[in-house]
């Protein structure tokens, strides 16, 4: 039986040659007052978490939702912390830590600037080119496409996305869409050490609101689109949109590329305070006429199961035709955005055209409409999309390359934006021939209740549709495969690249991609070898217990 211990989180990475910063210099630059003696103390890093702390680092203690981080100052000191950086309330709580306490007005708001100073990764330092992409959908895809194209240009790359962190070819699973500022600056310092020349970064609205990208200046920032999501974090869509706008101010980016495919693109252009270039794909744009007037236009040429061919045209009669290696017009839009970002950063058009025109973009997009099936049998795609807009676009893409029926399999996150669940159910049933509702990350919510809301949204939209409900997802994918055949397709939306499910705070090993392969193989269909790590043994068998995916040791 599995152990009760949750899988460990991916490591926090630091530069291999830690910085050497005098605490007295930090005090002179940032402190409002000091408790203790900072003289002679050398800092070698900075962190928010005692679990990640290494000897010689500063522990930044901030007020959390329930507790103040300064309550753990003594533990930080015992682990070798060189100093505590906190606010006035934290200074009182950390008084007996026995190490210097640096008091600042707002340690959370200052974390990015502090981290940039410690690691030498601020706007005036020698850094790789930084590309930052924000928007509701497409951030991860654009980031991985940027990395792929840069690789074709011979550029040493780094990447930070929802799916993975990459450092000159090394791959590390991600913790957060955008890491905390202290972690990100340490990661950037490590990338610099390893000769990385350009870094693609996924920038969420929460990262901007929570100061995770503070202290960074992006060479090119990009906006993909805006649609219903994250209303558990923001009061309404206006507040959600406003949270993304700081990326397009001069203290965050030097220039910007904005997609006009969603109505919010024009609003970003109007509000941006840096030079802006626009790109659009009229065939999927909310306003096709406005999209056709963009600086750069993406025209879809051909859609097939192994990719989408498109032409990117722009100023001066420049044009190239290439293939993005995943299905969907929206993926061609993402690729066009990535190409224009590279052009805006200074990469020569001739160099980009030489690498791409008449060929393919050599990029791997983990869990983004990722086909996991073989040449025979139903086509099975696993995708990370978890919003109504993502469902609509991806289902339409699957429909256009599928001769038979389309089955949609999905669940919804627990303890996340519940206001979109009815629309998720509606969009899923409207875009598919067969709908299967299952579980995703229930977290601390009742999974039965989550499924009931999704089913209600679907049945309201199409009472006579073929709708099934199965739990756990291990059973759901097996039942889904049994419902389809040659020429049909399954879109399993939600889990994407993730290798765990969050069940009552426990990260349970889990891979939708591997479960889909096993379900296909059990049904007699050939499957290709996986391109991803498998988080449980090859001989593991599905369990009937939704809290325990497999009945063999992990």
Q: Report pLDDT digits (tens) over 139-171.
A: 999 999 999 999 999 999 999 987 788 999 898
Given a cut of 80, whether residue 32 has pLDDT beyond it is yes
Which one-letter DSSP state was computed for residue 377? S
Residue 301, Cα to own-chain centre: how many angstroms?
A: 28
Judged against a pLDDT cut of 80, whether residue 409 lies above it is answered with yes
Residues of the chain with CATH 3.90.190.20: 370-522
> What per-residue confidence (pLDDT) applies to 386?
82
- CA dihedral angle for residue 388, residue 389, residue 395, residue 396, rounded to 10 degrees: 140
Question: What is the SS3 assignment for 443?
Answer: strand
> What pLDDT is stored for residue 534 in this prediction?
64
Asked if the model's pLDDT at residue 254 lies above 90, the reply is: yes
Contact 42, 70 (CB under 8 A): no
- In percent, the amount of the chain with pLDDT more than 70 equals 92
pLDDT at 12: 77
Would you say residue 408 has pLDDT above 50?
yes
Q: Closest Cα to residue 356, out of 343, 371, 372?
A: 343
Q: In angstroms, rounded to a whole number, what is the distance separating the alpha carbons of residues 8 and 444?
A: 20
Q: Are 314 and 328 in contact (CB under 8 A)?
A: no
Are 9 and 506 contacting, i.e. CB atoms less than 8 angstroms apart?
A: no
Write the DSSP string, 197-223: -EEEEE--HHHHHTTTTTT--BSEEEE
């420049």: which residue's tokens?
318
Q: What would the pLDDT profile of 362-375 be if each residue is shown by its tens digit?
A: 998 888 888 999 99
Pairing type for strands 296-304 and 307-313 reads antiparallel
pLDDT digits (tens, 9 = 90+) for 71-129: 999 999 999 999 999 999 999 999 999 999 999 999 999 999 999 999 999 999 999 99
Q: How confident is the model at residue 285 (pLDDT cuts 50, 70, 90)?
A: very high
**Residue range(s) occupied by CATH 3.40.1390.10 in the chain:** 21-119
DSSP for 141-189? HHHHHHHHHHHHTT--EEEE-SSEEEETTEEEE-SSSS--HHHHHHHHH
- The Cα angle at residue 531 between residues 525 and 533, in degrees rounded to 5: 105
Question: Thinking of the domain 370-522, which architecture would CATH place it in?
Answer: Alpha-Beta Complex (3.90)
Mean of the per-residue pLDDT values of the chain? 91
Q: Which residues in the chain are classed under CATH 3.40.1190.10?
A: 129-356
- pLDDT at residue 532 in the model: 65
In which band, very low, low, confident or very high, does the pLDDT at 6 lie, cut at 50, 70 and 90? very low
**What is the CATH superfamily name and number for domain 21-119?**
MurE/MurF, N-terminal domain (3.40.1390.10)
- Taking the whole predicted model, whether its pTM rises above 0.95 is answered as no
C-alpha 62/C-alpha 519 separation (Å) is 46
pLDDT average, residue stretch 342-366:
96
Confidence of residue 546 (pLDDT cuts 50, 70, 90): very low
Distance of alpha carbon 250 from alpha carbon 522, whole angstroms:
55
Cα distance between residue 235 and residue 205, in whole Å: 13
Q: Beta strand pairing status for 83-86 and 57-60? A: parallel
The stretch 291-307 carries a mean pLDDT of 96
Can you tell me the mean pLDDT for 208-226? 94
Q: Count the neighbouring beta carbons within 10 Å of the beta carbon of residue 482.
A: 11
CATH code at 129-356: 3.40.1190.10
End-to-end CA distance of the chain: 8
Give me the residues paired with residue 468 across strands.
436
Confidence at residue 544, expressed as pLDDT on a 0 to 100 scale: 44
C-beta atoms surrounding 531 within 10 Å:
10
**Is residue 3 predicted with pLDDT exceeding 90?**
no
Dihedral over alpha carbons 385, 388, 390, 395 (to 10 degrees): 100
Partners of residue 502 on adjacent β-strands: 507
CA distance 506 to 69: 22
Percent of the chain having pLDDT more than 90?
Answer: 77
* Higher per-residue confidence, 523 vs 227: 523
Cis peptide before 275 (omega within 30 of 0): no
Residue with tokens 């109504």: 388
Q: In whole angstroms, what separates CA 441 from the centre of its chain?
A: 16
- pLDDT tens string 502-534: 899 888 888 999 999 999 999 999 999 887 666
pLDDT of residue 281: 98
DSSP secondary structure string, 264-301? HHHHHHHH--S-EEEEE-GGG-SSHHHHHTSSEEEEEE
Asked whether 380 and 520 are in contact (CB, 8 A), the reply is: yes
Residue 4 has what pLDDT? 31
- Three-point CA angle 278, 281, 283, nearest 5°: 150
């Amino acid at each position: 039986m599995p152990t009760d211990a949750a899988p460990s989180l991916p490591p926090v990475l630091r530069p291999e040659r830690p910085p050497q910063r005098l605490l007295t210099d930090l005090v002179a630059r940032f402190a409002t007052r000091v408790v203790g003696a900072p003289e002679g103390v050398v800092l070698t890093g900075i962190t928010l978490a005692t679990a990640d702390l290494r000897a010689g680092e500063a522990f930044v203690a901030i007020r959390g939702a329930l507790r103040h981080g300064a309550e753990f100052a003594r533990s930080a000191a015992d682990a070798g912390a060189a100093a505590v950086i906190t606010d006035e309330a934290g200074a009182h709580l950390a008084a007996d830590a026995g190490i210097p306490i640096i008091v600042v007005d707002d340690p959370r708001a200052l974390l990015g600037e502090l981290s940039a100073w410690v690691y030498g990764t601020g706007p005036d330092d020698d850094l790789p080119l930084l590309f930052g992409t924000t928007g509701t959908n497409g951030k991860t895809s654009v980031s991985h496409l940027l990395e792929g194209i840069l690789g074709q240009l011979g550029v040493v790359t780094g990447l930070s996305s929802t799916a993975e962190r990459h450092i000159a070819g090394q791959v590390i699973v991600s913790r957060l869409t955008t890491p905390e500022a202290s972690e990100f600056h340490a990661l950037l310092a490590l990338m610099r050490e390893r000769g990385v020349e350009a870094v693609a970064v996924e920038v969420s609205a929460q990262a901007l609101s929570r100061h995770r990208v503070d202290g960074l200046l992006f060479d090119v920032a990009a906006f993909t689109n805006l649609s219903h999501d994250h209303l558990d974090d923001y009061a309404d869509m206006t507040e959600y949109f406003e949270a993304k706008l700081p990326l397009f101010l001069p203290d965050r980016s030097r220039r910007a590329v904005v997609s006009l495919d969603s109505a919010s693109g024009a609003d970003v252009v109007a509000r941006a305070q840096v030079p802006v270039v626009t790109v659009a794909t009229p065939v999927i744009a909310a306003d096709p006429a406005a999209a056709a007037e963009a600086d750069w236009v993406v025209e879809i040429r051909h859609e097939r199961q192994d990719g989408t061919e498109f032409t990117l045209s722009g100023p001066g009669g420049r044009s190239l035709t290439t293939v993005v290696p995943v299905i969907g017009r929206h993926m061609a839009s993402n690729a066009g955005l990535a190409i224009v970002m590279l052009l805006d950063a200074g990469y020569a058009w001739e160099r980009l055209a030489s690498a791409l025109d008449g060929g393919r973009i050599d990029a791997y997009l983990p869990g983004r409409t990722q086909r996991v099936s073989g040449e025979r049998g139903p086509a099975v795609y696993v995708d990370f999309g978890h919003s109504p807009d993502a469902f609509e676009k991806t289902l339409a893409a699957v429909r256009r390359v599928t001769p038979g029926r389309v089955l949609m399999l999905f669940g919804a996150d627990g303890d996340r934006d519940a206001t979109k669940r009815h629309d998720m159910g509606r969009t899923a049933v409207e875009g598919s021939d067969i709908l299967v509702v299952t579980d995703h990350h229930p977290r601390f919510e009742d999974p039965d209740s989550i499924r009931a809301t999704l089913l209600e949204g679907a049945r309201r939209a199409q009472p006579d549709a073929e709708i099934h409900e199965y739990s756990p997802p291990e059973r759901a994918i097996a039942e889904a495969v049994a419902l389809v055949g040659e020429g049909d397709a399954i879109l399993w939306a939600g889990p994407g690249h993730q290798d765990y499910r969050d069940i009552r705070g426990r990260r349970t090993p889990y891979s939708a991609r591997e479960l889909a392969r096993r379900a296909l193989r059990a049904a007699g269909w050939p499957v290709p070898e996986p391109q991803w790590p498998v988080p449980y043994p090859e001989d593991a068998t599905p369990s009937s217990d939704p809290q325990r995916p497999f009945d063999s040791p992990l």
